[in-house]
């Protein structure tokens, strides 16, 4: 390595894919015993987007990845000027999802690799539920850093949660939506601080029962003749997850700032997992951070689990609200229970 230059894992482009079918709270209230007033006041959600029956997580993921590569090709940051030129340079696809195309195998990442035609990419799924993107950046950074032959990775979060919610459970089905988000990262040599600065990751498996898809796995396989109601679906202890989430978000923000030796004023924006606006408000209040610092788009997309942070990052990026050199913080939590956050110099 040249003197004065350091290896960095930099985000080069972002993209998202959201299904066109938009279901507002009022639309939902026609078939579920709920109301716009309840959903908004308890969560900040105003709508969600739902995938068509023939759309799977890999379809949304591939679309988000193409949009990411298209941004990269149009920009000045990399020499390649078409998606076809970039694709063979992708060494790795790390994909987070809790609603994979197939349970077990093949991984959704491999399906996406095929859809993209990213022939030279190794591909794997990771499952840290809603924290998957945060875990995914760290996973990709480690895999790029450890092998000199790997340079570029796509990190994708994708979900079709509409397939794994029980539409008769009003306390749950109103919370979730479908979508995908992606980033292209590259291992570079730069002067000064750039790219991924630091990640905090954690888990508390003792809370596994609080947010769980019980059916369909080895613990509770589906037997012949069972009804649709027995199909895999999310079950949640909302209050327990809420309490865990506020603590996890608060402590992760504090930990990232402390370890990096910076203050909240050094951070341009915080991009939290979009699960419930009230969780963000509670953490902001505890830490005495302005709510404006947090980017929220939950009103439009609801909770898209592994996709929520990369979708939010892409929206912020395309709005021109992130400038080169800005420090961006991600923070999230999810089933597992898992939590974590990244500090990234854009
Ligand atoms: O990324 C995944 C992580 N998941 C989360 O972050 C979820 C964390 N938890 C939460 O966000 C909140 O706990 C919820 C939004 C899920 C629930 O909010 P809450 O304020 O804890 O409501 P609750 O479950 O205590 O329910 C309050 C009332 C109940 O009625 P009663 O018993 O007081 O008469 C529910 O039956 O609200 C009722 N209710 C609803 N009413 C209308 C629950 N869901 C609905 C609904 N519409 N959709």
Residue nearest to atom 12 of ligand 1 (CA): 238
pLDDT at residue 156 tops 60: yes
pTM of the model: 0.96
> Is residue 162 very low, low, confident or very high in pLDDT (cuts 50, 70, 90)?
very high
pLDDT at residue 90 tops 80: yes
Q: What is the pLDDT of residue 223?
A: 83
- Long-range contacts of residues 214-221, Cβ cutoff 8 Å, at least 24 apart: 216/103, 217/103
Q: What is the mean pLDDT of residues 92-96?
A: 98
- What is the whole-number distance in angstroms between the Cα of residue 39 and the centre of ligand 1? 9
Q: SS3 of 84, please?
A: helix
Q: What is the mean pLDDT of residues 37-63?
A: 98
Q: Is the CB of 281 under 6 A from ligand 1?
A: no
Q: What is the pLDDT of residue 192?
A: 83
Q: What is the pLDDT of residue 226?
A: 76
Q: What is the mean pLDDT of residues 83-90?
A: 98
pLDDT at residue 220 tops 90: no
- What is the whole-number distance in angstroms between the Cα of residue 171 and the centre of ligand 1? 5
pLDDT at residue 330 tops 70: yes
pLDDT at residue 3 tops 70: no
Interval 59-80: pLDDT, tens: 999 999 999 999 999 999 999 9
Q: How far apart are CA 80 and CA 76, in angstroms?
A: 9
Ramachandran angles phi, psi of 204, nearest 5°: -135, 90
Per CATH, the homologous superfamily of domain 6-192 is: Thiolase/Chalcone synthase (3.40.47.10)
Contacts of 106 (CB under 8 A, 6+ apart): none
Q: Is the CB of 289 under 6 A from ligand 1?
A: no
Q: What is the mean pLDDT of residues 333-343?
A: 98
Interval 230-275: pLDDT, tens: 678 999 999 999 999 999 999 999 999 999 999 999 999 999 999 9
- What is the whole-number distance in angstroms between the Cα of residue 110 and the centre of ligand 1? 36
Q: Which of 273, 276, 317, 342 is catalytic?
A: 273
Say if 6-192 and 196-345 have the same CATH topology: yes
Map out the domains of the chain as residue ranges: 6-192, 196-345
- What is the whole-number distance in angstroms between the Cα of residue 240 and the centre of ligand 1? 11
- What is the whole-number distance in angstroms between the Cα of residue 237 and the centre of ligand 1? 9
Sign of CA dihedral 29, 34, 38, 44: negative
Q: How far apart are CA 174 and CA 48, in angstroms?
A: 8
Sign of CA dihedral 174, 137, 335, 162: positive
Q: Is the CB of 303 under 6 A from ligand 1?
A: yes
Instruction: Find the helix or strand (DSSP H, E) in which 188 lies.
Output: strand 178-191
Instruction: Return mean pLDDT, the chain.
Output: 96
- Whether 183 contacts 13, CB under 8 Å: yes
Q: What is the pLDDT of residue 191?
A: 83
Sign of CA dihedral 23, 27, 32, 33: positive
Q: How far apart are CA 274 and CA 49, in angstroms?
A: 14
Give the chain's end-to-end CA distance (angstroms, integer). 22
The candidate with the shortest Cα–Cα distance to 187, out of 142, 157, 134, 223, is: 142
Q: What is the pLDDT of residue 1?
A: 47
- Helix, strand, coil shares, percent, the chain, to 5: 40, 25, 35
Q: How far apart are CA 169 and CA 146, in angstroms?
A: 45
Interval 100-155: pLDDT, tens: 999 889 999 999 999 999 999 999 999 999 999 999 999 999 999 999 999 999 99
303 labelled catalytic = yes
Q: SS3 of 175, please?
A: coil
Q: Is the CB of 106 under 6 A from ligand 1?
A: no
Residue 225 φ/ψ region, left for φ over 0, alpha for ψ in the -120 to 50 degree band, beta for the rest: left
Q: Which of 25, 130, 233, 317 is catalytic?
A: 130
Contacts of 234 (CB under 8 A, 6+ apart): 161, 164, 165, 166, 172, 176, 211, 212, 213
Q: How far apart are CA 17 and CA 54, in angstroms?
A: 15
CATH classification code of 196-345 = 3.40.47.10
Q: What is the pLDDT of residue 228?
A: 58
Which atom of ligand 1 is found nearest the CA of 308? 1
25 labelled catalytic = no
pLDDT at residue 2 tops 60: no
Q: Is the CB of 277 under 6 A from ligand 1?
A: no
CA angle 280, 281, 283 (to 5 degrees): 65
Q: Is the CB of 250 under 6 A from ligand 1?
A: no
Q: What is the pLDDT of residue 6?
A: 87
């Amino acid at each position: 390595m040249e003197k004065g230059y350091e290896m960095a894992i930099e985000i080069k482009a972002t993209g998202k894919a959201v299904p066109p079918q938009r279901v507002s709270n009022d639309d939902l209230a026609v078939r579920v015993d709920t109301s716009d007033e309840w959903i908004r006041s308890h969560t900040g959600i105003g709508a969600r987007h739902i995938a068509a029956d023939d759309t799977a997580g890999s379809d949304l993921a591939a679309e988000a990845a193409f949009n990411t590569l298209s941004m990269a090709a149009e920009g000045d940051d990399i020499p390649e000027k078409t998606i076809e030129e970039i694709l063979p340079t992708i060494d790795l696809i790390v994909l987070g999802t809790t609603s994979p195309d197939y349970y077990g195998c093949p991984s959704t990442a491999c399906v996406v690799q095929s859809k993209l035609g990213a022939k030279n990419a190794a591909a794997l799924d990771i499952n840290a539920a809603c924290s998957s993107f945060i875990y995914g950046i760290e996973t990709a950074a480690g895999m790029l850093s450890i092998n000199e032959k790997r340079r570029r990775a796509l990190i994708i979060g994708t979900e079709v949660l509409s397939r794994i919610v029980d539409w008769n459970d009003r306390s749950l089905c109103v919370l979730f939506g479908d979508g995908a988000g992606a980033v292209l990262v590259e291992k570079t040599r730069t002067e000064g601080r750039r790219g991924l600065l630091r990640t905090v990751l954690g888990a508390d498996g003792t809370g596994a029962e609080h947010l769980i898809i019980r059916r369909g796995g080895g613990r509770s396989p589906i037997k012949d003749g069972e009804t649709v109601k027995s199909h895999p679906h999310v079950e949640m202890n909302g209050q327990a997850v809420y309490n865990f989430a506020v603590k996890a978000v608060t402590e992760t923000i504090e930990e990232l700032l402390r370890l990096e030796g910076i203050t909240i004023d050094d951070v341009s924006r915080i991009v939290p997992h979009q699960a419930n606006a009230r969780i963000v408000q509670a953490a902001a209040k505890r830490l005495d951070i302005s709510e404006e610092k947090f980017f929220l788009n939950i009103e439009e997309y609801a909770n898209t689990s592994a996709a929520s942070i990369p979708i939010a990052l892409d929206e912020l990026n395309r709005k021109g609200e992130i400038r080169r050199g800005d420090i961006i913080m991600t923070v999230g939590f999810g089933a597992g229970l898992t939590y974590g956050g990244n500090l990234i110099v854009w």
